[in-house]
Amino acid sequence: MMKVTLPKLKNKKGNEKIAMVTCYDATFARLVEKAGIDSILVGDSLGMVIKGEENTLNVSLDEVAHHVSAVKRGATNPFLIADMPFGSYQSSVEQGIESAVKLIKAGAEAVKVEGGSEVSPLISKLVSFGIPVVAHVGLTPQYVNEFGGFARRGKSEKERKFIMDSALAVEKAGADMIVLEGIPKTLAAEITKKVKIPTIGIGAGTDTDGQVLVIYDLLGMNADFNPSFLKKYLDLDSLVTKALEEYKKDVVDGK
């Protein structure tokens, strides 16, 4: 696998779909690289997937940096993106710059921020300093308390306009890609057509420029997590449980 760079990803728009996976450790990162995946996102979803929390809000900058370093040791060819966790950029643009620099020093090649016009000043400043930015609009998990949960966004005309305006705002600010999460397929297709930068969908239909899924989810490691957009390529929940049961039996039997 050749090294995937940001220009290569941006050149895929309209030509070839981008495959992105969220993972958090060197072992999975090595397998992701072997599979030829274009990009890895070290997401603040680690709060839910790794730490077992109800949402992403309690993830710290140090935790994301820790996992970025681990992923970087496992894979060097996929383009590596790091989430800016809640509380790492909301106070000021200066705080956001410091947080982004820490993630870049940990090994990230771009940072991801949630929001629209409210984060545009930060995006502009980061890009001016040579730090690529991936934006994230639609269902933005860091806004879970405002939304009242993880329900799909963009159902009303008002919400559709807000999401469209947010996408256009972050593109104008200099974002290099946009994650579109939990929005209608038609809206995602409209945004993808309007913006000149790649869109990465999750629960946003097939008309985006690429897709991202959490590796634990696509491998079926949680039998109880079954959102409508998720295709499980394996059933590791039952396979791993069975293997562990066999291991326990061998131990008990003295084998």
List C-alpha distances in Å: 199 to 13, 73, 96, 129, 144: 8, 27, 23, 23, 22
Is the CB of residue 25 less than 8 Å from the CB of residue 74? yes
Neighbours of 193 (CB within 10 A): 10
Q: Catalytic: 98?
A: no
What are 58's two structure tokens? 């309690």
CA distance 185 to 173: 25
* Residue in 33, 63, 181, 245 annotated catalytic: 181
Catalytic positions are 181
